[in-house]
Structure 1
């Protein structure tokens, strides 16, 4: 059911990731209710200043840009807990106290709009769960979706979980050339509703097909290969 939709060469996969970078960062920002427009997102990513925005919102976009650059600088790196912590430390830079960065959450958190209370993550169990996902017999796309959903529901960190999970899921996909995961703004309302249901039930039967059918993007070749 969740077969890979795309089979891209490494250079094509990186091209796709770079081509959709602004859209992906904008979507990740909107997923976290960061008040920013697409043009302003592009301007910030291009290294120029934007007036009228909160300093914190600008920093969050810069953090996403830096984390993405880290991924694209070496897409062959192994996805393990230390790698994920590194991504989170970039995503949450300036947002969390230093003692809460580069470490798993060690206290209780709540999720807005949900009665679900995630357990405090135990490092050995997290490592095993990540290994089980990465080494499963599922397609790469399904592995990426399974990791994204697991990391969001587990709330591994104090904050920035969806952003970190999204980047890491994309890293899995880009490395294998199976496309990118982008939860576009037009799908956010439905995504949020399905995620609340998933948080409370742990049932992936609705959110997973939704992500697969609407949020996997790639290069659909016709008769030509436009960037050869």
Structure 2
């Protein structure tokens, strides 16, 4: 018989329901693990300078990557798997999906949820499948920030939504796309694909090369998310695909994953609008450092 007092237990979940709750937690985390941004940045030197990485510019010193703490890979994967319904719910809710967290849990348990559109249920299941693919790849050592992995994940995540899932815009029989509707109103046009998608392919290659110059794997993962989101490589599902890629990159490198909570949707949308309007990812990257998954989900004190 096990001794309950000595038995290790998973931390109690502490999901917040409002942006104020998450803002309070972010402030507490900063107080415990670092009060402000680094004075040098992931490349060293002048932290105030603007860098270009892929499609975006950003200021390395504006974000405190130290808020994303080291974590054992297997422990992170275990906790991620256990928290999959919450992660899927957050990601889907940010896309406008009306499933509640209990309904997501029910659906992932294999039970149909009445009164919901088929498209919403398919989006939930596809997100779960895409997350599980990433978890499997990290576990067996095959996960990498590359086009092959991104295409495989997108082929699952957006299979019910994108015109051609699993390939960049222009690589198939359909051209164009990439326009984004801003939360604050208006739209931003998409980048040209080039013949057969060659321009987007070149942009992706250049992004990976630029990421290779960053010493901090946390910076590489978050900047990848921002730049891939801005580039709109796919017809749909770009944020979801980039989010899963970012998560896998952080865990594989031995750091906590990032969870963008639905309760902070307004902050997220403001950062995204700035990204698309100006190509500056600084606000978005700084926001992401305050969304470490296990601090926003669990009481770690």
User: TM-score scaled by structure 1?
Assistant: 0.88
Q: Identify the residue that residue 112 of structure 1 maps to in structure 2.
A: 181
Secondary structure at 2:246 match in 1: helix
Q: Identify the residue that residue 23 of structure 2 maps to in structure 1.
A: none
The alpha-carbon deviation at position 29 of structure 1 amounts to 0.2
Which of residues 156, 161, 179 in structure 2 aligns to 1:95?
A: 161
Larger Rg: 2
Which of residues 50, 63, 69 in structure 2 aligns to 1:6?
A: 69
Which of residues 147, 155, 160 in structure 2 aligns to 1:81?
A: 147
Q: Identify the residue that residue 125 of structure 1 maps to in structure 2.
A: 203
Deviations 1:129-182 (A, max 9, x none): 12432x233422221110111111111100011111111110101112211111
Residue 81 of structure 1 contacts residue 130 of structure 1 at CA under 8 Å; is this kept in 2? no
Residue 152 of structure 1 contacts residue 165 of structure 1 at CA under 8 Å; is this kept in 2? yes
Q: Identify the residue that residue 193 of structure 1 maps to in structure 2.
A: 270
The alpha-carbon deviation at position 31 of structure 1 amounts to 1.4
The alpha-carbon deviation at position 74 of structure 1 amounts to 2.1
Aligned length: 218
Q: Identify the residue that residue 69 of structure 1 maps to in structure 2.
A: 132
CA distance in 2 between partners of 1:199 and 1:127 (Å): 21
Q: Identify the residue that residue 294 of structure 2 maps to in structure 1.
A: 218
Give unmatched runs, 5+ long, in structure 2: 1-37, 39-63, 171-175, 194-198
CA distance in 2 between partners of 1:177 and 1:22 (Å): 23
Q: Structure 1 residues 102-111 or 27-36, which shifts more?
A: 102-111
Deviations 1:172-216 (A, max 9, x none): 011122111111111001110121011111112322212212x11
The alpha-carbon deviation at position 47 of structure 1 amounts to 1.9
The alpha-carbon deviation at position 221 of structure 1 amounts to 5.8
User: TM-score scaled by structure 2?
Assistant: 0.68
CA distance in 2 between partners of 1:159 and 1:32 (Å): 11
CA distance in 1 between partners of 2:222 and 2:111 (Å): 33
Q: Identify the residue that residue 42 of structure 2 maps to in structure 1.
A: none
Q: Structure 1 residues 41-50 or 166-175, which shifts more?
A: 41-50
Question: What's the RMSD between the two structures over aligned residues?
Answer: 1.8
Residue 84 of structure 1 contacts residue 164 of structure 1 at CA under 8 Å; is this kept in 2? yes
CA distance in 2 between partners of 1:3 and 1:210 (Å): 11
Residue 13 of structure 1 contacts residue 175 of structure 1 at CA under 8 Å; is this kept in 2? no
Q: Identify the residue that residue 39 of structure 1 maps to in structure 2.
A: 102
